[in-house]
């Protein structure tokens, strides 16, 4: 049986014990008053010892019902002890005509409920032993009941038959109860197993979520690395001399690529401490107003870093566009090719 099942069954037994003790505390007072008065009327002063025993038993039940700090085992054992004493006392004083066997039956059932099947079987054997001993004492005349109550139920055959009937009644009472306890333990075990399975699934889900998050982080890093690689390939820079780098532009230059071009060249110029950046535009497919302005902005930003700018391979169409726009190329070196710039350095 798992720990969760044991805990659930223990909680159920604690609730059962509390309920039984509270019922006995409430009903016991009425029984003590009514039964005590009846016994006193029938027996007179001879009933006083019995009333004292009943009163002590009731006080012990009150203590067990309301003082929980003594623990489950102490309280349950105390209740069973009280029931054993009361069952034996009633059986000894009233014989077969009394309710001693009923008390013994309830004691056995409570042992089954509070401590399990083994304890119930032990209590059943104790009850049969008690019935056998008390029955023998009654048959031998050592114990006797009131003369006005005695009839015929005091022979060995009567006691043997009563013990057999008692055994059958206890079996009928405890068998379903034992099955109920077993069923409860099975259900508790199943519930704890399902709870453990749910916790395992939740743990696996958390691990899967963490793994997916890690994969997402790796994908984001990979994507950023690819973007950096694409940006590098879009605007490659090659150091062709100490402090001099060449940036050949190829393809269409739009707004996004113009911004990437500016960031890329500024980073390279600052990192490598360049004194001259040669921007070769021979591979630019189309040269319009936005491209011309982007180049001039890039050149001006590089100059602010202390890096001179040279633009090479300007085609006639590009030159016409720059002239038509009235763009100023002050501070920017213009040459036919990168080799011409290098020859002047």
Residue ranges per structural domain of the chain? 3-199, 235-344
**324 in Cβ contact with 294 (< 8 Å):** no
pLDDT at residue 261 in the model: 79
Q: Does the pLDDT value for residue 138 go beyond 60?
A: yes
**2 in Cβ contact with 197 (< 8 Å):** no
**274 in Cβ contact with 307 (< 8 Å):** yes
Q: Does the pLDDT value for residue 288 go beyond 80?
A: no
Q: What is the DSSP letter of 310?
A: E
| CB contact burial 76-86 (16+ within 10 A = b; e otherwise) | bbbbbebbbbb
Predicted confidence (pLDDT) per residue in 13-47, tens digit: 888 888 888 877 877 777 777 766 766 776 677 66
Distance CA 241, CA 258 (A): 25
Kindly write down the DSSP assignment for every residue of 168-216, as one continuous string.
Answer: HHHHHHHHHHHHHHHHHHHHHHHHHHHHHHHHHHHHHHHHHHHHHHHHH
Distance CA 313, CA 334 (A): 8
Average pLDDT over residues 256-281: 84
Considering only residues 292 and 303, tell me which one the structure prediction assigns the higher pLDDT. 303
Predicted confidence (pLDDT) per residue in 188-215, tens digit: 667 767 777 788 888 888 888 888 888 8
Q: What percent of the chain has pLDDT over 90?
A: 1
Residue 179 banded pLDDT, cuts 50, 70, 90:
low
pLDDT at residue 149 in the model: 47
pLDDT at residue 170 in the model: 63
Distance CA 258, CA 229 (A): 16
For domain 235-344, say whether CATH 1.20.140.10 is its number: no
pLDDT at residue 178 in the model: 63
pLDDT at residue 169 in the model: 58
Distance CA 302, CA 28 (A): 101
Q: What is the DSSP letter of 155?
A: S
């Amino acid at each position: 049986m798992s720990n969760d099942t044991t805990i659930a069954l223990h909680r159920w037994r604690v609730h059962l014990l509390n309920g039984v003790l509270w019922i006995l505390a409430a009903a016991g007072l009425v029984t003590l008053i009514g039964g005590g008065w009846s016994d006193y009327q029938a027996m007179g002063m001879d009933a006083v010892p019995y009333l004292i025993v009943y009163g002590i038993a009731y006080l012990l039940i009150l203590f067990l019902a309301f003082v929980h700090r003594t623990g489950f085992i102490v309280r349950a054992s105390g209740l069973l002890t009280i029931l054993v004493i009361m069952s034996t006392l009633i059986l000894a004083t009233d014989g077969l005509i009394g309710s001693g066997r009923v008390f013994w039956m309830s004691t056995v059932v409570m042992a089954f409920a509070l401590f399990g099947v083994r304890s119930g079987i032990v209590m059943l054997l104790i009850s049969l032993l008690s019935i056998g001993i008390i029955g023998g004492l009654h048959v031998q005349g050592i114990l006797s009941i009131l003369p006005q109550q005695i009839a015929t139920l005091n022979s060995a055959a009567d006691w043997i038959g009563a013990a057999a009937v008692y055994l059958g009644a206890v079996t009928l009472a405890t068998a379903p109860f034992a099955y109920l306890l077993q069923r409860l333990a099975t259900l508790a075990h199943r519930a704890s197993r399902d709870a453990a399975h749910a916790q395992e699934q939740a743990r696996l889900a958390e691990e899967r979520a963490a793994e997916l998050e890690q994969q997402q982080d790796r994908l984001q890093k990979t994507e950023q690395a690819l973007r950096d690689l694409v940006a590098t390939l879009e605007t490659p820079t090659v150091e062709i001399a100490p402090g001099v780098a060449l940036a050949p532009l190829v393809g269409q230059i739009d707004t996004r690529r113009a911004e990437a071009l500016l960031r890329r060249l500024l980073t390279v110029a600052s990192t490598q401490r360049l004194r001259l950046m040669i921007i070769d535009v021979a591979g630019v497919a189309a040269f319009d107003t936005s491209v011309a302005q982007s180049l001039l902005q890039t050149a001006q930003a590089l100059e602010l870093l202390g890096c001179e700018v040279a633009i090479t391979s300007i085609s006639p169409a590009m030159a016409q566009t720059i002239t038509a726009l009235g763009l100023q190329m002050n501070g920017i070196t213009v040459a036919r090719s990168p080799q011409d710039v290098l020859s002047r350095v």
